Structure 1
C-alpha cells in the first residue's frame, strides 16, 4: 500500500513537468536480471558449489552418527553400565553437533546468498540509473511493483546486456569466502 501511495505522490509531483516534456516510463524485472546476467549465473554456480560441499559434510556427519548408533545397538548388551552411558553420551553429543551444524550451515548459506545478491543488485541499480538518465526516462519501475505494464516499456533485456558488458568477469562478480 505504501508503494502505491509513493508512486501516486511521485506521479502527482511530476505532473507539471509532463506538460513540458514527453513522459518516458520503463519497467525492469530485477530478479530476471539477477538470474539471467553472467554475474548472476556465476554467483548462482558458486553458491551451488558451496551448498553441495556443505551438504556432503553434513551427510558424512549424519552417517557417522548413524553408524555409532548402529554399533551401539549391536554391542550395548555386552557393555558394562558405565561404558554404555559413556557411549550414549557420545552419540547424543555427536547428534547435537550434527543438528547445530545443520542450523549454522543453513544460516551461513542464507547470509552468503544475500551477500551475493546484494552486490549484484547494487550494480544493477547503478546501470538502471545510468540508462535512465542516458535515455531520458522519466521513471523506471521495478516490475514487481507495477500491477500491469505493456511489454513495450520493459527494459529488462537491455539492462541485462548493459550489465553483462560492464560487470566484472564471472568469478570476480562476488566476494569469495
Structure 2
C-alpha cells in the first residue's frame, strides 16, 4: 500500500545531529488496514456483483455449446452431411466467441480490480498523511519492517478514520 522509503544514512545523520530525540516514528500494517477497512469490503462486494452477471452469461454460453456438441454426437449419424457441417460450423463459431468473451472478461476483471485497488490505496494514503500531520509524526514506515511495538502502530487509527469517512458518505 503506502511505501515510504527509509534512508538509513538520513536517520544516522539526524541521530548524530541530536535531532533523533524530536523524531516521531510510526508504522502501519497495510494488510490489516485493507482487511479491516469498510472500503475494502465494499469494493470486494462491488466487484463480486459485477463479476457474477458476466460469469453467469459465460456459463450459459458454455452450456449452449455443450448441448450442441451432445446433439452432434447423438444425432450426427442421422443428419445429412450439410446439417452436420452447419452444426460443426455453429459450434466452432460459438466456441471462438466464447474464448474471446472469456479473455475479455479476464481483462475487464483485472482492470476493474486494479481501479478499485488504486482508489483504496489513494484513500489510505490520504488518511495516513492526515494522521501524520495531526499527530506530528515525522516518519511512517510500512512493509519490510522486521519489528515494531504496538506503541508506534497507527494502523488502528487509519482503519478508524477510513471507517468514519465511509460512514459519512
Q: TM-score range by the shorter chain?
A: 0.7 to 0.9
Deviation at 1:16, TM superposition (A): 5.4
Deviation at 1:4, TM superposition (A): 10
Corresponding position of 2:145:
146
Corresponding position of 1:161:
160
Q: Displaced runs of 4+ in structure 1, greater than 6 A? A: none
Structure 1 unmatched runs, 5+? 173-177
1:54 partnered with 2:54: yes
Q: CA RMSD in A?
A: 2.4
Corresponding position of 2:40:
40
CA contact (8 A) 1:34 1:117 kept: no
Provide the aligned length of Structure 1 versus Structure 2. Answer: 167
Deviation at 1:164, TM superposition (A): 1.5
> Which deviates the most, 128-137 or 20-29?
20-29
Alpha-carbon distance in structure 2 between the residues aligned to 1:150 and 1:115: 33
TM-score under structure 2 normalisation?
0.86
Residues 145 and 91 of structure 1: is their aligned pair in 2 closer, same or farther, counting only changes over 3 Å?
Answer: same
Residues 66 and 22 of structure 1: is their aligned pair in 2 closer, same or farther, counting only changes over 3 Å?
Answer: same
CA contact (8 A) 2:6 2:141 kept: no
CA contact (8 A) 1:24 1:139 kept: yes
> Which deviates the most, 26-35 or 120-129?
26-35
Alpha-carbon distance in structure 1 between the residues aligned to 2:158 and 2:15: 27
> Which deviates the most, 54-63 or 4-13?
4-13
Residues 111 and 4 of structure 1: is their aligned pair in 2 closer, same or farther, counting only changes over 3 Å?
Answer: closer
Structure 2 unmatched runs, 5+? none
Deviation at 1:18, TM superposition (A): 5.0
